[in-house]
Amino acid sequence: MTRAADWFEAHRERLQAAVEACRTRGYWSPFVESPSRRLWPEGAKQRGAEAFEALLGTRIELGLPGEVGWLGSEVSPFTSEPLGVRYPKVEAHALVDAMGEAWPAWRSATVTERVGVCLEILARLAADTFLHAHATHHTAGQPFLMAFAGSGANSLDRGLEALAMAWQAMAWVPEESTFERSFGRGPQVALHKRYRLVPRGVAVVLACGTYPAWNAWPALFANLATGNPVVLKPHPDTVLPVALGVRTCREVLQQAGFDPNLVTLAVDTWEEPITQQLLAHPLVAIVDFTGGQRFGGWLEANARQLVYTETAGCNAVVLHSAHDLDAVLRAVAHSLCCFSGQMCTTAQNVWMGAEGVRVGDRMVPPDEVMQRLVAAVDAWVAEPEEALAVCGAVHSDATLSAIEEAQAAGEVLRASAPIEGAGSARTATPAVVQLPASARSVYGKEHFGPIGFVMVAASFDEALACATRDAGERGSIASYAYATDGAVIEGIEDAFALAGASVGINLVRQLPINYAAAYSDFHVTGLNPAGTASLADLAFVADRFRVVQSKVEMPPG
């Protein structure tokens, strides 16, 4: 048995449990989401911190093909200090050429071997969670605890989910069959048929700057398991978490006797982007993209490759009624604060009717709702230490400008401000801005960052209509609604379903409401402009390989 097949056996139960979790869609995870000392081996925390420190100011040696120099200019959003980490600069064509040379052995490896390699990579990434958490914290700007869960268990779960789906899709096709029949009055004919699962080609995975692993790992494993080599192209400001993942992939591939060039890294800069050069290579057959609607939409319309995107929308919150309005507003305010509104599931557009929000027998008027929403935001960021733990850092200066623009566009109910005592960190508490329902040119698109708009429509029905109209036409990854009445809840579910958008209802105690669970939540519907790739349905995996068959007539008798 090969080493890769051994790994498959070692991790088989985990894989089978993941398949089961995808089918039943309850809560499950084989990974450890919390850094709590008692859940980790002695010294794991310190080793992770030390490993991160040791990387600073060094070169990440990957031995990539087509290396032509070094680059890297990441700056920690928390310390505002350069990390000083340098990565190989590669020549795109040479890189992909070498991946093409690595490909044949991977194409002809068994599904078991390929999935075994993927499972082992997942296990090693999991063991390195502390290191990945530091790397993500100091590049993406996520608060440390979020970085720990987000670059660790949560992303690994999405990766394992995609792997489990790919495995199931491949398992649908038998390796061979015997086909026997007669034609007309002719003799019985027997054909021996073989079905080969053939990958498409090199996959380019374009990761985002703020939450890189969560979409990159699913794409990585969906591609790798189905036989497609993967080049990971990180966001220029968030390279380290992706580079560390690539390093682990290459180690595992090599130990399994495969060419490490099946997984490579293509780092670029704002000044010299490399993506179009990668896409121009004839071997590149798949693109997985996470990022803004502009480039995502361009890819969807123009790339000759198979394209999977997660882009963005203008996620809504629709307020109808509540048992405990402050609990609702506390949850919504948390979504605005959480990682400074830089998640794809962050709420942006808060809608209510002019009649206000019903609480018991009372209609709470819009002005009061807004006031209490602002108070709820204030509460999350009142204590600097807690504020920093919830908001983390702002990934990019562009987001600070976006906040200013948003504040200039309407009535500022709450002004954004840096978090006091955050030192050199680039921080911003949420801006809450009231807009008229007619200001669709403002709220009808994503404003990335801690920016919440509040709109009062003529009525709740009108508010719901506006929110779902925008979800369908402008995009929504996660929208939210609050209502106490069963019929209203059903109406909300139907309206969002018709708009092709998912909705979370009455999420209050579950914090953060932004949370989307692997194996349980389908992430991105593909029915609105927020992307085409759903984590992780069969469509996410089924087209990454094709079936090529041969049939051989067997001698009679």
Contact predicate 338/454, CB 8 Å: no
Establish if 91 lies at the interface with its own copies (CB under 8 A).
no
- Ranges within 143-172 binding its own copies (CB under 8 A): 168-169, 172
Among 280, 389, 408, 547, the residue binding its own copies under the rule CB under 8 A is 547
Establish if 511 lies at the interface with its own copies (CB under 8 A).
yes
- DSSP secondary structure letter of residue 187: P
Q: How many CB atoms lie within 10 A of CB 112?
A: 17
Q: How far apart are CA 80 and CA 427, in angstroms?
A: 11
Establish if 298 lies at the interface with its own copies (CB under 8 A).
no
- Sign of the torsion angle spanned by Cα atoms 30, 261, 140, 74: positive
Residue with tokens 């960190």: 425
Among 45, 47, 124, 196, the residue binding its own copies under the rule CB under 8 A is 196
Q: Which is nearer to its own copies, 359 or 511 (CB)?
A: 511
Question: Minimum distance between the CB of residue 443 and its own copies, rounded to whole angstroms?
Answer: 22
Among 160, 501, 518, 530, the residue binding its own copies under the rule CB under 8 A is 501
Question: Minimum distance between the CB of residue 263 and its own copies, rounded to whole angstroms?
Answer: 22
Establish if 270 lies at the interface with its own copies (CB under 8 A).
no
Q: Residues touching its own copies: how many (CB under 8 A)?
A: 70
Q: Which is nearer to its own copies, 309 or 416 (CB)?
A: 309
Question: Minimum distance between the CB of residue 15 and its own copies, rounded to whole angstroms?
Answer: 16
The residue range among 75-83, 389-397, 437-445, 532-540 that interacts with its own copies, by the rule CB under 8 A, is 532-540
Token couple for 264: 């490579």
Question: Minimum distance between the CB of residue 542 and its own copies, rounded to whole angstroms?
Answer: 4
Among 94, 127, 283, 538, the residue binding its own copies under the rule CB under 8 A is 538
The residue range among 126-134, 236-244, 452-460, 497-505 that interacts with its own copies, by the rule CB under 8 A, is 497-505
Contact predicate 127/501, CB 8 Å: no
Q: 3-class DSSP state for residue 546?
A: strand
Q: How far apart are CA 344 and CA 466, in angstroms?
A: 20
Q: Is 538 exposed, middle or buried (0-12, 13-18, 19+ CB in 10 A)?
A: middle
Among 73, 254, 371, 520, the residue binding its own copies under the rule CB under 8 A is 520
H/E stretch holding 198 reads strand 188-199
Q: Which is nearer to its own copies, 298 or 515 (CB)?
A: 515
Q: Pattern of binders to its own copies over 310-349, x per CB under 8 A?
A: ----------------------------------------
Token couple for 135: 């790397």
From 335, 331, 292, select the one nearest 315 (Cα to Cα).
Answer: 335
Q: Which is nearer to its own copies, 444 or 500 (CB)?
A: 500
Token couple for 83: 């990390």
Establish if 219 lies at the interface with its own copies (CB under 8 A).
no
Contact predicate 502/478, CB 8 Å: yes
Question: Minimum distance between the CB of residue 300 and its own copies, rounded to whole angstroms?
Answer: 9
The residue range among 126-134, 247-255, 426-434, 491-499 that interacts with its own copies, by the rule CB under 8 A, is 491-499
Establish if 275 lies at the interface with its own copies (CB under 8 A).
no
Establish if 294 lies at the interface with its own copies (CB under 8 A).
no
Q: How far apart are CA 266 and CA 165, in angstroms?
A: 27
Establish if 521 lies at the interface with its own copies (CB under 8 A).
yes
Token couple for 398: 């562009």
End-to-end, the C-alpha distance of the chain in Å comes to 35
Among 78, 496, 514, 518, the residue binding its own copies under the rule CB under 8 A is 496
Among 174, 276, 361, 441, the residue binding its own copies under the rule CB under 8 A is 174
- Burial letters for 154-179: b for 16+ Cβ neighbours within 10 Å, e otherwise? bbbbbbbbbbbbbbbbbeeeeeeeee
Phi, psi of 314 (to 5 degrees): -115, 85
Establish if 179 lies at the interface with its own copies (CB under 8 A).
yes
Q: 3-class DSSP state for residue 454?
A: strand
From 496, 369, 381, select the one nearest 430 (Cα to Cα).
Answer: 381
- CA distance to 32, 65, 102, 233, 251, per residue, from 98 (Å): 36, 6, 6, 16, 17
- CA distance to 126, 312, 464, 477, per residue, from 480 (Å): 31, 15, 11, 10
Q: Which is nearer to its own copies, 69 or 184 (CB)?
A: 184
Q: Which is nearer to its own copies, 433 or 527 (CB)?
A: 527
- DSSP secondary structure letter of residue 37: G
The residue range among 290-298, 409-417, 449-457, 541-549 that interacts with its own copies, by the rule CB under 8 A, is 541-549
Among 276, 301, 361, 557, the residue binding its own copies under the rule CB under 8 A is 301
Q: How far apart are CA 365 and CA 353, in angstroms?
A: 9
- Ranges within 18-77 binding its own copies (CB under 8 A): 23-27, 34
Token couple for 120: 């082992």
Q: Which is nearer to its own copies, 113 or 120 (CB)?
A: 113
Positions in the binding site for its own copies (CB under 8 A)? 23-27, 34, 168-169, 172-174, 177-181, 183-184, 186-187, 189, 191, 193-196, 198, 200, 301, 304, 489, 492-493, 496-497, 500-511, 515, 517, 520-522, 525-527, 534, 537-539, 542-543, 546-553, 556
